[in-house]
Amino acid sequence: MNKIKNIKLLNTVLNTILILISGCTSVDDPFDYKADTIVECILYVNESIDTLKLHRTMPVDQKYNKAEAGIGNASVKIFSVAGDTIYMLPAKGKPGSYYDPTRTTVRPATQYYLEIDYPGGKQITGATITPDTFTVLPPKYRVVTYLYDTNIVRWTISNHAAAYLILVSNIEFVRTKIERDQDLLPDNQYNNKEAPTIWTFTLGTSTPLYPWLYNYYGIHEITITAMDNNLYDYVWTMYQDKMRLNEPSFHLNNAIGFFGSGVRRDFIYEIQK
Amino acid sequence: MFKTNLISKKQYIFVMLLYLFITIPLHSQSDISSSIKGGISGYILDLQTKEPLISANVLIMGTSRGTVTNKSGYFVVPDIQVGTVILRASMVGYGTIDSTIEVRPGKFTSVKLRLREAATVLGEVVIEENIIKDKDKTISTISLPVADLQKLPAVGETDLLRTLQLLPGVQASSEISTGLYIRGGSPDQNLILLDGITVYNPSHFFGFFSTFNSDAIKNVKLIKGGFPAEYGGRLSAVLDITNKEGNRNRFSASGSTSLISSKLLVEGPLGNGSFMLSGRRTYLDLILMAANLKDVPNYYFYDLNGKINIDEFENDKFSLSMYAGDDVLDFTIKENNVARQALNISWGNKTLSAKWTHLFSDQIYSNLIVAGSSFKSLTKFGLSGFDMHFDNGISDYSIKPDIEWYPSSEHIVKFGLWGTYYQVKYNTEVGENTGFITNANAHSKYFAGYAQDEWKPNVFWTLTSGLRYNFYSLGSRNYIEPRFQALYRMDDRWSIIGSLGYYTQYTTLITWEGASFADLWFLIDETIRPLEAMQYVLGIHFRDEPFSIELETYYKPMKELTEFNLTSQMDSKNLSEIFYIGSGYSTGIELFIQKYYGALTGWVGYTLSKTVRTFDGINNNKTYPAKWDFTHYLTVTGSYNLGSDWSLGSTLVITSGTTYTVPTGTYQIDFGGGSYTYLRSGDKNAHRLEPYHRLDVSVSKIWKMWNGDWKISLNVYNTYNHRNVWYRNYDYDDDGEPKITDVRLLPIVPTLELSFKF
């Protein structure tokens, strides 16, 4: 009899705890949308400013659409300690894109500032020091046989550069039959496809052009970009752990994204079978 | 120098010092020299194996005088009236023995009492009715009989850390991890000792299994909080594991095989001493090799435990204990017998400790441990000429002399030293000429000295107070840690217990769930301060055989906590650049109801708790719940003897859902010819997944065959196949469409295990 009483008591206690747990721990609405502003702008030395992009974040459960997210009514100013002042204008047909109507050339080793004002938002500010120019030394091979030759690219140091970005783009997609499972392995989302660019980065002033940097045969363009600290911090931290939701390192006030600078040099060579 | 604002400092230290250094001499004068008193000292041993029994109870019948054996099975009862007394020895899982002893004036009578294991067949203990439990149980301490480990369901095989996760106050971050989150502390805040030496990475199989082979374990003691001054260097808890010494009477062997691994243990006499050697290995790799599958990861782990004991001398005993274990993963894709892509990961622990115990007199027992421990992890990745390697680890070399002094019936005094030389290394190289080369090696010395006194002024009170002094060479840090514990016995069944203490920690860990091989240990350097915590515990214990009920509440404020900064640079040299520094606290109430013997044994554990953190640079500097903050955590375990050598075991776990962060938005950044989608982080850990629940069941049958004991167990993990959520994943497909999915944990997993003992 006592045992039955105890079991009943235990059941009551367990049921109470279960109800308590169920009632206190619910899955909340996972979409707490809060708008933030994103800036994307890279100043390339000895080039004019190609574009500055200004967008808003969108709700998590929606497909991101840059046209919808663009902020087109902002006042965008970029100016330097050397006296340059550039007022960027909205690009027609490209919501959120701004261009430099004066085509002013960006100076090396110069500090630039960004100021953006738009209705309903706090002023966005940022700064970058452009890296100094540098020279790429001629690579050993202009024609490389896949898997047999490793080209090493070297360049001189760029002052103010935090690191160097190496982009490899296949600019001539050779339309021959791909020998799958034999040449470009693994056959993943990059290899054996007409994907345009693969990139890596280095802190040094040389890099082997590993076979995995190519996604196909043909003419390739190699671009070495000396990055300022803002760009390098973004590149170093750009991959997001979807469990921790860590975000890249940004250096803007009142916005996310980057206002960075770089110096780029490129050359062409061929990958052959 | 006492550096904390967690407690009021000077007054407290003053009181503690006064207590220690004035009251001990006053109260510690033994009456043993008196002509009307004598004493009894000796060892309590297992009858069949002659293994010393840890935490066995000793009682002078007809009096309230008694004690508990230490880690060598040694005990001392001083100040006994001369004449004939009956000494009763008992221990859970064993029978009792009464021995008539003549106590002579001014002398100690040495005895060796042997207890018979209670009707044990392969760990299925039928506990006898006359077992006496230790009524002087210390605060927040659980001594887990190893036989209990084998009675509960398991995934594949019995696992110590998974069983500990079923105790109140001990939580798992998820079912794929054996990490112990004890009273709001992270796994690196636990001091895990195997035969006296620290184990740094107690896991196999990416954290799914623990390194401790249950067949080789003799005793497990978990102190969830308020641990005494003899332990230090960690903020939260102590897990003290002692391996078997081996059978001193005869050679024997036992083992088991399951779908995951096989284990074998051999033990036997060695001179006047003994030896034990135990090994375990998984064989998934051998199955895959036999199947001749291509491009499949090759994985295995093994571990070895060994111990040698030399008992050639009456007052001196020596033992040598070792552990070695490795996990090896090899995933190589070959083309024409040439490796095109290769991932090789190997990681593991190695420990070696030598222990010398010496009896200076019946009242002064000492031991000296000289030991080394290391955890190493090596990861290599190669892709068509591009090579990366990550090589990291921690080593420590320690020396620990301890003395136990039994000056009178009222006092047990312990004091000792602890010296450790730490080395950590973190060497990486990414590609050729990339500049991503890190050689972050560091070393440090840690020295500690402690003194503690357990004072029983009368039958109602036991007061244990201690001081621990720590010196840490990096930054020349000095810390004094007071510890205090009080036990008040209201009657034979009820007692009230409380403790407070100050704790510091000089190492910290970066760990990733599901990737324990990548654990990175760091020594606190000059740029940050050691981690600090206070612990306050208050509880009430009730014991009326066969039940015990413990209700404890705790509060643990912590500061100088570290959290890895994922945006730190690879070449960061200072820990202040690698970690966010913050604070936090955990508080909770634990209820632990146990039934020790009878056809049905088991426990109910419930914890109501809160654990929060605050870091500059995280969550906009706002306080947030820890990832392992579970408001409710309920576990129910049971083992039922069905008769006819059949038994049933079950485990039920119900907890609040894991905390997680809901993103507030999404955005894209175009870079390097591609477009990258990100999630904007909302308030950290502000939401919870659905509650977690799981039921495991096991059925076992034992029988005798070929002069041995055999057992077969069917374990069913997650019996009703409830797919609990591990984490919520927010992602986007190639077209940018959102994909929000719940990543779920294990389904129902039935496993079979066969074990034997000769």
Euclidean distance between CA atoms B266 and B256, whole angstroms: 12
ω before A186 within 30° of 0 (cis)? yes
Q: What is the DSSP string of A40-64?
A: EEEEEBTSB---EEEEE-B-TTS--
DSSP state of A211: G
**What residues of A are in contact with residue B728 (Cβ under 8 Å)?**
30
Cβ–Cβ < 8 Å for A199, A227: no
Please name the residue of chain B whose CA is at the shortest distance from the CA of residue A35: B665
User: Which token pair is B187?
Assistant: 């796994």
Alpha helices in A100-245, H assignment, sequence order: 229-236
Closest to B323 (Cα-Cα) out of B204, B224, B405: B204
Q: Do B732 and A204 touch (CB under 8 A)?
A: no
Q: Do B688 and A256 touch (CB under 8 A)?
A: no
Annotate B16-45 with b (16+ C-beta within 10 A) or e (fewer): beebbeebbeeebebbbeeeebbbbbbbbb
pLDDT at A193: 57
Of A20, A197, A246, nearest to B672 by CB-CB distance is A197
Please name the residue of chain A whose CA is at the shortest distance from the CA of residue B636: A14
pLDDT at B384: 65
**What residues of A are in contact with residue B628 (Cβ under 8 Å)?**
none
Q: Do A207 and B727 touch (CB under 8 A)?
A: no
pLDDT at A26: 38
Euclidean distance between CA atoms B487 and B228, whole angstroms: 14
Euclidean distance between CA atoms B6 and B536, whole angstroms: 11
Domains belonging to chain A, first-starting first, are 37-129 (2.60.40), 136-272 (no CATH)
CATH number of B31-120: 2.60.40.1120
Euclidean distance between CA atoms B751 and B166, whole angstroms: 20
Residue B735 class from Cβ within 10 Å (0-12 exposed, 13-18 middle, 19+ buried)? exposed
Euclidean distance between CA atoms B467 and B464, whole angstroms: 11
What is the amino acid identity at position A52? Answer: L
Q: What ipTM was reported for this prediction? A: 0.83
pLDDT at B130: 35
Residues 6 or more apart whose CB falls under 8 angstroms from that of B226 comprise B139, B140, B483, B485, B499, B500, B501, B535, B537
Q: In what helix (H) or strand (E) does residue B44 lie, and over which residues does it extend? A: strand B37-46
Beta bridge partners of B464: B454, B485
Euclidean distance between CA atoms A239 and A272, whole angstroms: 32
Euclidean distance between CA atoms B81 and B61, whole angstroms: 12
Annotate A88-112 with b (16+ C-beta within 10 A) or e (fewer): bebbeeebbbbbbeeeeebbbebeb
Euclidean distance between CA atoms B722 and B727, whole angstroms: 15
pLDDT at B10: 53
Beta bridge partners of B455: B411, B463
Place of tokens 């020091």: A129
Q: What share of chain A is helix, strand, coil (3-state, %, to 5)?
A: 15, 40, 50
Below-50 pLDDT ranges, chain A: 1-7, 10, 14, 17-29, 175, 177-178, 180-181
pLDDT at A152: 82
Euclidean distance between CA atoms B15 and B456, whole angstroms: 19
Q: How far is A192 from chain B (nearest CA, A)?
A: 15
Q: How far is B518 from chain A (nearest CA, A)?
A: 16
Q: Do B732 and A55 touch (CB under 8 A)?
A: no
**What residues of B are in contact with residue A196 (Cβ under 8 Å)?**
673
Chain pair A-B, CB pairs under 8 angstroms: 199
DSSP state of B599: S
pLDDT at A58: 93
**What residues of B are in contact with residue A197 (Cβ under 8 Å)?**
672-674
Annotate A239-272 with b (16+ C-beta within 10 A) or e (fewer): ebebbebbbbbbbbeebbbbbbbbbbbeeebebe
Cβ–Cβ < 8 Å for B320, B354: yes
Cβ–Cβ < 8 Å for B554, B569: no
Q: How far is A212 from chain B (nearest CA, A)?
A: 7
Neighbouring C-alpha atoms within 13 Å toward the C-beta of A78:
31
Q: For chain B, how far is it from start to end, CA to CA, in angstroms?
A: 57
Q: Do A60 and B665 touch (CB under 8 A)?
A: yes
Q: Homologous superfamily of B242-558+575-657+671-757 in CATH?
A: TonB-dependent receptor, beta-barrel domain (2.40.170.20)
Rg from Cα positions in chain B: 27
Euclidean distance between CA atoms A7 and B162, whole angstroms: 27
Closest to A78 (Cα-Cα) out of A114, A116, A47, A43: A114
**What residues of A are in contact with residue B385 (Cβ under 8 Å)?**
150, 208, 210-211
DSSP state of B146: H
How many C-beta atoms surround the C-beta of residue A181 within 10 A? 11
Q: Where are the domains of chain B?
A: 31-120, 242-558+575-657+671-757
Cβ–Cβ < 8 Å for A227, A131: yes
Residue A63: phi and psi, rounded to 5, are -70, 130
Query: Quick check: helix, strand or coil at residue B121?
Result: strand
Residues 6 or more apart whose CB falls under 8 angstroms from that of A7 comprise none
Interior angle at CA B385, CA B380 and CA B391, nearest 5: 20
**What residues of B are in contact with residue A208 (Cβ under 8 Å)?**
385-386, 431-433
Closest to A36 (Cα-Cα) out of B373, B680, B366: B680
pLDDT at B408: 84
Between the alpha carbon of residue B581 and those of residues B405, B528, B529, the distances in Å are 41, 8, 9
Place of tokens 């109800």: A19
Closest to B362 (Cα-Cα) out of B193, B559, B141, B109: B109
Q: Do B667 and A38 touch (CB under 8 A)?
A: yes
Mean pLDDT of successive 10-residue stretches along chain B, which has 758 residues: 48 52 47 65 87 86 83 86 86 83 85 77 38 54 74 76 90 83 93 93 81 87 92 94 90 88 91 91 81 77 93 88 92 67 87 93 91 92 76 93 89 93 86 66 93 90 93 92 93 91 93 74 91 95 88 96 83 83 96 87 93 93 94 93 88 92 90 86 90 92 88 90 87 79 86 87
Residues 6 or more apart whose CB falls under 8 angstroms from that of B190 comprise B180, B182, B234, B236, B237, B238, B239
Residues 6 or more apart whose CB falls under 8 angstroms from that of A107 comprise A45, A80, A82, A84, A130
pLDDT at B227: 92
What is the amino acid identity at position A191? Answer: N
Of B333, B431, B432, nearest to A185 by CB-CB distance is B333
Q: Is the dihedral of CA B554, B560, B566, B567 positive or negative?
A: positive
**How far is Cα of residue B130 from the mean position of the Cα atoms in its chain?**
30
Q: How far is B627 from chain A (nearest CA, A)?
A: 10
How many C-beta atoms surround the C-beta of residue B78 within 10 A? 23
DSSP state of B656: P
Of B341, B654, B679, nearest to A240 by CB-CB distance is B679
User: Which token pair is A138?
Assistant: 């001629």
Q: What is the DSSP string of B468-508?
A: EEEEETTTTEEEEEEEEEEEEE-SSSEEEEEEEEEEEE-EE
Mutate to test the interface with B, among A15, A60, A145 (most CBs of B within 10 A): A60
pLDDT at A7: 46
Residues 6 or more apart whose CB falls under 8 angstroms from that of B620 comprise none
Closest to B436 (Cα-Cα) out of B367, B390, B497, B403: B390
**What residues of A are in contact with residue B569 (Cβ under 8 Å)?**
236
Cβ–Cβ < 8 Å for A194, A129: no
| Separate counts of helices (H) and strands (E) for chain B | 6, 50
